[in-house]
Amino acid sequence: MRTQLLLASLLATTLLPSRTQAQTTWIQNYPMTQSPFWDKDGRFSFVGKHPSGDFLLVSNQVQNGVQVQRIDAQGNTVWSKVTPIVRSGRAVYPNVKFSQDAQGNILITHPNGLAKLNLNGDTAWTRPFAPTGDPNGTIASIMLSGPDDNYLVVRQLYTEPVAGTPMLLEVRARKIDAATGQDIWNTDLTPLLTGTNYGSYGPWPKLARRSSGYFVFINGSTISLPENGSAPTMSANTLGNISTTLYTRVGTTIVAGSSQLRVLNDQGNVVATSPSVSTSATGGFTALTEDTQGRIIGVMEGENSTAPGQGGDYVMSLLRFPSGLQLLENTLDLRLTPTAFVGGSQFSVTVAPDGQYALGGATYTARSRGGSRQMTLALVPAFAPLATKALATGTLGLYPNPGAAQGSVTVHPPAAGTLGLYDLLGRPCLPAQTVTGSAVILPLPELAAGVYVLRLNSPDGRNWTDRLTVQ
């Protein structure tokens, strides 16, 4: 079937990336009863949602377990408590990680085992791991809620380095019963890693949902794990280290590296990539969430040092992408000073019922990593409705216009870069191709009637967009 192709250049709209200093609804600091223990493989603080519309702040305590604080929509403390989490006299120690299930329960992973706290911050259950001698010989993932509301966790055991080379003992994926904390299934992933350099003490395993199960990301490699835990497979794709992941409401798997987001299909192949981003924050992505518009919200954070060797301002950037990641729509920069300073924490983010963003994490009360620890929570107004602008005719020099599906369009790109054709959900309609800045003929597939986006990304970060209407 042949359809008429019309470039609606005067009526089309495009998203304008913008960058501003974030205006906050409020920022509040909350005292900790005890300084937390931090380790490079642990997220020792977390912000989550309470079903009432309040927020839950969680932080790791060296001796006593975890501190949980419920904060209302105005930033006031409703209650605060310390919940002991111990096994055989050993408290929650380094490498602690927090997550949350769909009901709002707090899920805790640590080298000694697992724990689940209810909405009041009280222990629902604890699950010990078999002793390994040294808790530093264990790295575990977060607990990830599955489609059946049970949890997946991956535990990696290793020995301390011998002549500078750690030895991998085993890596196991466990499906955990949400009601009891006991195994539903237990799958050994070690055979997939045999003979490869997976013994190094590096980033902890990351997990992601996919339509038919899960992905396990470990030391740069990707394992596909079915929902029933049987017959896991190693992907041939190398994605590098993954910092955080998101499974969207429409069933899309998104993974974050240090400066870029990627969409994966069910086989673990990259089907869409965001532009590389650079912000005032010096670190990479630490959290992802989905806002009320279905947009992807990322948090990047880092230290903006005032002088060499000194601690600096704690800078966070909020970034918004469409679900297809084809462009960066907006950036907000947030500085927590003068009441909170860089603390080595990984801030997390959640979306309030009114659409505002709540960012929380542990900070210091004084510069240069001085003073005491505290939890900081900032409520930031949601990004404004998307800006629009009429495109000038011939932004990408399309010809002929109208054209024909399954025919071709000649594009006159204003610069070298990567050219792609997408639908309005950001899904690619053609494989992206590299162009040099000279005219190029773009073959068109058979397209359904609707609006499509032709986009050019240049290596220096510039982009051009035309919209195509297929009738």
- For position 185, what pLDDT does the model report? 96
Task: Give pLDDT tens digits for 417-468.
Answer: 888 887 766 678 888 888 877 777 777 788 777 667 777 877 765 667 777 6
Answer yes or no: same fold for 4-15+388-470 and 18-380. no
424 closest CA partner among 391, 450, 398: 450
Place of tokens 């510069």: 367
CA distances from 348 to 35, 358, 364 (A): 19, 8, 17
CA distance 82 to 68: 6
As a 3-state breakdown, the chain gives helix, strand, coil percent values, each rounded to 5, of 0, 50, 50
Place of tokens 């000649």: 410
Please say whether the beta carbons of 69 and 77 come within 8 A: yes
- For position 430, what pLDDT does the model report? 83
Which one of 3.10.20.740, 3.40.50.10170, 3.40.50.1980, 2.130.10.10 gives the CATH number of domain 18-380?
Answer: 2.130.10.10
Tell me which residues of the chain have a pLDDT lower than 70.
1-22, 33-44, 61-64, 86-95, 131-137, 158-168, 194-203, 278-283, 302-314, 337, 341-345, 367-371, 384-395, 397-407, 424-426, 450-451, 460-463, 468-471
CA distance 27 to 90: 35
Please say whether the beta carbons of 256 and 285 come within 8 A: yes
Q: Where are the beta strands (DSSP E) in 305-354?
A: 313-321, 330-335, 348-351
CATH, domain range 4-15+388-470: 2.60.40.3080
3-state secondary structure of 187: strand
- For position 210, what pLDDT does the model report? 92
Q: Residue 335: CA atoms inside 13 Å, Cβ hemisphere, count? A: 11
- For position 347, what pLDDT does the model report? 82
Which value, to the nearest 10 degrees, does the dihedral of the CA atoms of residues 185, 188, 201, 213 take? -60
- For position 410, what pLDDT does the model report? 73
- For position 3, what pLDDT does the model report? 31
CA distance 114 to 420: 45
Neighbouring C-beta atoms of residue 263, cutoff 10 Å = 23
Please say whether the beta carbons of 308 and 286 come within 8 A: no
- For position 143, what pLDDT does the model report? 95
The domain segmentation of the chain, as residue ranges, is 4-15+388-470, 18-380
Structure letter (DSSP) for residue 16 = P
296 closest CA partner among 262, 332, 323, 269: 323
Place of tokens 């309005």: 424
Q: Look up residue 433 and give its two tokens.
A: 């191709």
Please say whether the beta carbons of 140 and 39 come within 8 A: no
- For position 75, what pLDDT does the model report? 94
